[in-house]
């Protein structure tokens, strides 16, 4: 088996927090010993509630944030903590697309200059070669070269995100880190961007780390899924296994909270309850035990590690005892509802293609 493109091992990010007492500062474990692999041409989706550490993980993988501990290997080379010329060369391999396209684009620069900037920084050819590359990038994301002389505010949200994707592709990376790239967009535009990302992945052989909270989008995009809770991965594995047979109570609750077209919630009694605890003062043992319907005294004292269940892993000491979860996919009418949703998506894409023709 070939070596994974991306290998993340025991990745952690801690922040000191002043406690305001005589005992000094405490530590907020934003990300705590996270590990996962990603093969070439595939997508791993990292999901979880706000504040679980998804975006912090994304920023460390992309090189925007230095980890406290752990390694991030791209093509076998550890990019965590690398500095100088070596970091500059490695950074070309990993680029990031941000959640808010308006905030991530320089409002004072025209689109042509925005796309040319990374090419200048990385010494890509002369001015004519850079201009040609910029025009290629615009076509690649479905925009016209006439748009190069416009400013970001003259575009729609979906068009701005296409520009953000084009900028990330400028230096021909192998891996894109996508930090909730469609959450700030209208649903109809989300479908367009999702399909664009799938097309680019197929055409260019890209790999994606996809940060998301919308499980419908995850199901459409991902090959593998990692579920985070309070800085840790509590379940991960192939998409089919995670969606069909989630092992961790938290994963089950996430799926139960998702309404389906015409179905309501598949299992509302398992919907996520309560608020996520503070990462500055997390619960003892299993961090999820205060919100878990299946917790025991052992859960309050034992920190569970990821254990293998076939192709997937789950960090729950009662994973074998918890009642089987009736997933949304096995609920009556799920297939019909899912087919209807995909029909709507395809109609949206067809309308866009006709409008652009």
CA nearest neighbour of 99 among 142, 66, 40, 50: 50
pLDDT at 350: 54
Residue 357 belongs to a domain: no
Identify the DSSP state of 156.
-
pLDDT on residue 178:
97
> Residue 152: which of 117, 114, 183, 120 has the closest Cα?
114
On whether residue 339 sits in a domain, the answer given is no
217/240 same-domain check: no
Please, which contacts does 18-27 make with residues 24 or more away whose CB atoms are closer than 8 Å? 26/280, 26/281, 27/280
| Residue 31 near residue 72, CB atoms below 8 Å | no
- Assess whether 54 and 127 both reside in one domain: yes
State how beta strands 307-309 and 312-314 pair: antiparallel
**pLDDT tens digit at each of 357 positions of the chain:** 578 999 999 999 999 887 666 555 688 999 999 999 999 999 999 999 888 999 999 999 999 999 999 999 999 999 887 777 777 777 889 999 999 888 999 999 999 999 999 999 988 889 999 999 999 999 999 999 999 999 999 999 999 999 999 999 999 999 999 999 998 888 889 999 999 999 999 999 999 999 998 888 999 999 999 999 999 999 999 999 999 889 999 998 888 776 655 544 445 555 556 778 888 888 999 999 999 888 899 999 999 999 999 899 999 999 888 776 644 444 444 445 445 544 544 554 455 445 544
Query: Is the domain of 99 the same as that of 72?
Result: yes
Task: Give the residue carrying structure tokens 């069909």.
Answer: 244
Q: Are residues 65 and 108 in the same domain?
A: yes
CA distance 208 to 23: 43
Residues 50 and 112 grouped into a single domain: yes
The domain of 61 spans 6-222
C-alpha distance across the termini of the chain, in Å: 43
- Residue 323 CB burial class (10 angstroms; 0-12, 13-18, ≥19): exposed
Domain count along the chain:
2
Q: Are residues 189 and 245 in the same domain?
A: no
92 assigned to some structural domain: yes
Is the residue at 347 inside a domain? no
Vertex 201, ends 199 and 207: CA angle to 5°? 160
Distance, CA of 40 to CA of 208 (rounded, Å): 9
**Which residues on neighbouring strands pair with residue 72, listed in sequence order?**
8
Task: Please tell me the predicted confidence (pLDDT) of residue 303.
Answer: 92
56 and 188 co-located in one domain: yes
Question: Do 51 and 69 fall within a single domain?
Answer: yes
Secondary structure (3-state) at 23 = coil
Q: What is the pTM of this model?
A: 0.86
Query: Whole-angstrom Cα distance, residue 248 to residue 352?
Result: 40
Q: Are residues 63 and 179 in the same domain?
A: yes
> How high is the pLDDT of residue 329?
47
């Amino acid at each position: 088996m070939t070596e994974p493109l991306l290998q993340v091992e025991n990745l952690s990010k801690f922040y000191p927090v002043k406690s305001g007492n005589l005992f000094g500062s405490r530590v907020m474990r934003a990300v705590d010993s996270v590990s996962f692999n990603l093969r070439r041409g595939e997508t791993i989706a990292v999901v979880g509630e706000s504040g679980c550490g998804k975006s912090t993980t994304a920023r460390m993988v992309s090189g925007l944030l230095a980890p406290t501990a752990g390694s991030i290997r791209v093509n076998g080379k550890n990019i965590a903590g690398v500095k100088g010329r070596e970091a500059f060369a490695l950074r070309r391999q990993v680029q990031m697309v941000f959640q808010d396209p308006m905030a991530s684009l320089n409002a004072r620069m025209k689109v042509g200059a925005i796309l040319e900037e990374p090419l200048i920084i990385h010494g890509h050819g002369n001015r004519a070669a850079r201009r040609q590359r910029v025009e290629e990038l615009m076509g690649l994301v479905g925009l016209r070269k006439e748009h190069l002389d416009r400013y970001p505010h003259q575009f729609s949200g979906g068009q701005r995100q296409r520009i953000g994707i084009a900028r990330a592709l400028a230096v021909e990376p192998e891996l894109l880190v996508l930090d909730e790239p469609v959450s700030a967009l209208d649903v109809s535009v989300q479908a367009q961007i999702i399909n664009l990302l799938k097309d680019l992945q197929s055409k260019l052989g890209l790999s994606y780390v996809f940060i998301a909270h919308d499980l419908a989008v995850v199901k459409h995009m991902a090959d593998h899924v990692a579920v985070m809770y309070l800085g840790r991965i509590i379940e991960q594995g192939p998409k089919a296994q995670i969606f069909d047979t989630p092992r961790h109570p938290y994963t089950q609750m996430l799926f139960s909270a998702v309404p389906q077209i015409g179905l309501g919630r598949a299992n509302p009694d398992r919907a996520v309850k309560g608020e996520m605890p503070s990462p500055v003062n997390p619960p003892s043992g299993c961090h999820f035990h205060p919100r878990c319907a299946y917790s025991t005294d052992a859960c309050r004292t034992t920190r569970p590690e990821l254990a293998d269940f076939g192709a997937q892993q789950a960090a729950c000491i009662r994973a074998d005892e918890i009642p089987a979860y009736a997933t949304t996919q096995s609920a009556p009418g799920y297939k019909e509802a899912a087919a209807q949703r995909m029909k709507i998506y395809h109609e949206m894409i067809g309308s866009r293609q006709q409008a652009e023709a």
